Structure 1
């Protein structure tokens, strides 16, 4: 029977996973109506600056709270009230980091906008600098509660923050566009909405904190010594691991538009092309939700398995990877197969469909990378993933400079895939070098057969609509949603038919019974 601590840990992990799933879905879905309101140029404006906000969110969600929670948990083992001192010391350090980052983006907004090739982005960058001032408070309180295994404050603050942010963005954008405001003003209002969401999250966390506040017993000097320089290094490393896709977006923000205009493309057309390319972001976010969410429910168990049998540890790692590969590949192949009607359904036309098809391969690679990142963290390795991602970012930068002048936005898609491919190779090599054996050869053969059959069926499905010229937005709605249902049903059936998961594995996967098919 699992202990009370184990139950509390797993329940907390489940709460955070549910919250993370809701947030990812909201973050992906709102971009569609937002693009429909502001168009491709307005979407370009928003997406140019969004990665900076994404970094602030990563710091306040994936990075420092994780490290603070571990330090609070360690201090609690010695003296429960020490947790407050550790959190306060972390808050002071993060306060300095927050001020430095705010100053860099706010006072350096003109330089950053110049690097991005669009000086009209300056007001947006100044607004998006503000969340870095709120980040220390949010990170500290989330980490404080997570260290005490109380996940509800983090989950509530994250969901409310995202919900309010999305509602405000859509309402303000609609009103401003209707009243003739410029697209840059609309973009600025979107980030003001993000600041409002962050302030509300901070208020919710303060409410929880003052209800559970404990007196400090550890001297502040001792607390700083306990935290040490590892706090900053490990926090940034975890942040980099959690912000993989945002960091790749940031590189595109800095050089994709400027590289397009440097080849002679007029600025307004380049903005539209960048906006069309950015349509891929909600696809990637939605495509990785299932894979990463299911896998995250398994990753926390790795820490408790570290001191157990190696065979049991390998089985859990294999299951986490199998889940991410199955759903990542299914989402990738399925989306590529119905990209044209899906593009039309969501964004009113098929512009950039081939670029988005290539970009969609990111779903498969990033699903595996994010899962392996979680596995490495569960095994106590916080730095390797960050190193691999930095290498991938360097590859992405060089890839953009080499490919975009030659093949435009297709070059940005290809460079993203190449960067993710190398990150994945390094990540798999790290796991194998650690003595973990992954015997998944026959699994991949059966998986490719399942994905291939699904792709063939979807090709027939889309051919029927093309043959009868049923390509307007209404018919694209039926074609896309019908394709999702048809492809999803076939894929899940084949997964069960080919027995990609064993019966004991199915029991550990949420709704796993639907992945097991009893052959007569």
Structure 2
């Protein structure tokens, strides 16, 4: 690969990374005002069906476009690329029609499986989005394969913006006009289809081949199923775990003796974990995968030592940021819960769920490393085993331990996935990534940060009891304690040299922090 192509690829990867970050941030943030408007039961209704939309979104947003872009990039000229896009489009249309028909006809059965027959219209509303999936996934993949990343990035951001607007408008309208939560949920989920139309409007269309060409992709259907399906499954990891919850948490709570209405409300409380985990993942993965372009370059240029060094740096940064975010969210969960959702209900099970941030971050980061080597089978095996654990044990855990049991099963499933990936990968790829000294220092930073934050929170509450009540007070408490936690964690990490200077500099904008730390040390030494 020439320098020009490498630079184009790296710039494109950066553009897509920024667009993906914005899209994921929007997808996480809107759930807070949405839950505030529709309440726990309304949030339950939306979240029960959301995983079905989430799977379709991963198909059209990232999973299939990445696979299709590889096929397009392999074609030797423009007519061949156009022909490949046409061939893939036929296969994806077949898949889309199959899923659309399955959801439309199977909606009543799926709703009954979720324990709520009134969800059927919401499932049918989601089905319409799949008819727009072929044009979106092939269009995005075509432009990415030709190294034109801006069209894909623009369509991703527009899609999420429009969807969020439709969802919040539907929630506001439903609240003011006294709609049922199911009618509200149906209109909110229509945002996915409206957003897909908007994304298509801003996505330039690829042209049908004008010149004759004999280029054919061998075994296209099998590759679409294996490679494309693998990418989609890996991207939808957290959504698939949520889908298992949709079929087991509410049903398990009712089996455990809870009333139907109370089970719906508690499932809505349990679903508060989704935006919190997503925010933690967005931040941690964004920091860690900022090195992905350099990693891909090292792989293409055949520099194994540089590849290993970058892998180690990515995994250390991922674990450090994810640990700090997880510990912070757990230690401050009652205030976070009150500020964002109006009460502290379910703070314990939400805190347990936050442990999944560390594991999901490590899985996604390490999976990026494996993907750069075109290695997929191990991650699929890990995902399959982890999902089996969740499917088999989740309802039992909910019946015996309540909704908190589902939180623990999510963490356990992610732990199983990571263990399979980690110990199934090549020894030379994981050797020396985390030394005992690194783990000891990280544990020390995390424990002292949590202790410091809890001490400050206790002192503030004793001096100013109003901080224990009210959303505004919770916000004030967080504003006072979060900076303490950040300074403590990163101050200790710098003092104990948790990362090397080179590893610190791999984090975006870390130079400023290092300069400030150096000045403080020089001032303290005088």
TM-score bucket (shorter structure): over 0.9
Match of 1:167 in 2: 165
1:291 is the counterpart of 2:284: yes
Matches within 5 A, 1:374-393: 374-393=368-387
Match of 1:454 in 2: 449
List alignment gaps of at least 5 residues for structure 1. Answer: none
Give 1:461 shift.
2.0
Q: For 1:6 and 1:482, how far apart are their aligned partners in 2?
A: 45
Match of 1:509 in 2: 507
Matches within 5 A, 1:296-445: 296-306=289-299, 307-433=301-427, 435-441=429-435, 442-445=437-440
Match of 1:29 in 2: 29
Give 1:232 shift.
2.0
Q: For 1:233 and 1:103, how far apart are their aligned partners in 2?
A: 22
Give 1:216 shift.
5.0
Match of 1:194 in 2: 192
Instruction: Encode CA deviations 1:207-237: one digit per residue, 9 max, x unaligned.
Output: x235x77635434xx5353635112211110
Give 1:513 shift.
1.6
* Kept in 1: contact 2:378–2:425 (CA 8 A): no
* Kept in 1: contact 2:316–2:433 (CA 8 A): no
* Kept in 2: contact 1:314–1:438 (CA 8 A): no
**Alignment partner of 1:247 out of 236, 240, 244:** 240
Match of 1:263 in 2: 256
**What is the aligned length?**
513
Q: For 2:211 and 2:359, how far apart are their aligned partners in 1?
A: 45
* Kept in 1: contact 2:83–2:208 (CA 8 A): no
Match of 1:5 in 2: 5
User: Structure 1's 43 and 379: CA in aligned 2 closer, same or farther, altered over 3 A?
Assistant: same
TM-score normalized by structure 2?
Answer: 0.94
SS in 2 for 1:168: helix
Matches within 5 A, 1:273-288: 273-288=266-281
Instruction: Encode CA deviations 1:80-117: one digit per residue, 9 max, x unaligned.
Output: 33111111111110000000011111110000001000
* Kept in 2: contact 1:261–1:270 (CA 8 A): yes
SS in 1 for 2:502: helix
SS in 2 for 1:130: helix
SS in 2 for 1:223: coil
* Kept in 1: contact 2:244–2:390 (CA 8 A): yes
Q: For 1:484 and 1:399, how far apart are their aligned partners in 2?
A: 36
Instruction: Encode CA deviations 1:247-283: one digit per residue, 9 max, x unaligned.
Output: 0000000111111111221000000110000000000
User: Structure 1's 514 and 388: CA in aligned 2 closer, same or farther, altered over 3 A?
Assistant: farther
TM-score normalized by structure 1?
Answer: 0.95
**Alignment partner of 2:182 out of 170, 181, 184:** 184
* Kept in 2: contact 1:83–1:216 (CA 8 A): no
Give 1:515 shift.
5.3
Match of 1:495 in 2: 493
Q: For 1:231 and 1:304, how far apart are their aligned partners in 2?
A: 26
* Kept in 2: contact 1:86–1:227 (CA 8 A): no
Q: For 1:277 and 1:228, how far apart are their aligned partners in 2?
A: 39
Match of 2:18 in 1: 18
* Kept in 2: contact 1:362–1:416 (CA 8 A): yes
Instruction: Encode CA deviations 1:44-71: one digit per residue, 9 max, x unaligned.
Output: 0000000000000111122111111111
Give 1:509 shift.
2.4
In terms of mean alpha carbon deviation, does 503-512 or 390-399 score higher?
503-512
Match of 1:102 in 2: 100
User: Structure 1's 3 and 180: CA in aligned 2 closer, same or farther, altered over 3 A?
Assistant: same
Matches within 5 A, 1:96-175: 96-175=94-173
Q: For 1:515 and 1:310, how far apart are their aligned partners in 2?
A: 30
In terms of mean alpha carbon deviation, does 333-342 or 467-476 score higher?
467-476
SS in 1 for 2:488: helix
SS in 2 for 1:500: coil
Match of 1:39 in 2: 39
Give 1:443 shift.
1.6
Instruction: Encode CA deviations 1:458-501: one digit per residue, 9 max, x unaligned.
Output: 11122124334322211101112332222122222222222222
Matches within 5 A, 1:205-216: 205=203, 208-209=204-205, 215=210
Q: For 1:515 and 1:318, how far apart are their aligned partners in 2?
A: 22
* Kept in 2: contact 1:44–1:278 (CA 8 A): yes
Instruction: Encode CA deviations 1:153-199: one digit per residue, 9 max, x unaligned.
Output: 11100100101110111112111211111111111111111210011
Give 1:444 shift.
1.7
Match of 1:59 in 2: 59
Q: For 1:81 and 1:248, how far apart are their aligned partners in 2?
A: 41
Q: For 1:436 and 1:457, how far apart are their aligned partners in 2?
A: 33
List alignment gaps of at least 5 residues for structure 2. Answer: none
User: Structure 1's 216 and 350: CA in aligned 2 closer, same or farther, altered over 3 A?
Assistant: farther
Match of 1:475 in 2: 473
1:70 is the counterpart of 2:66: no
Q: What RMSD over aligned residues (CA atoms) do the two structures have, in Å?
A: 1.8
SS in 1 for 2:216: helix
* Kept in 1: contact 2:248–2:394 (CA 8 A): yes
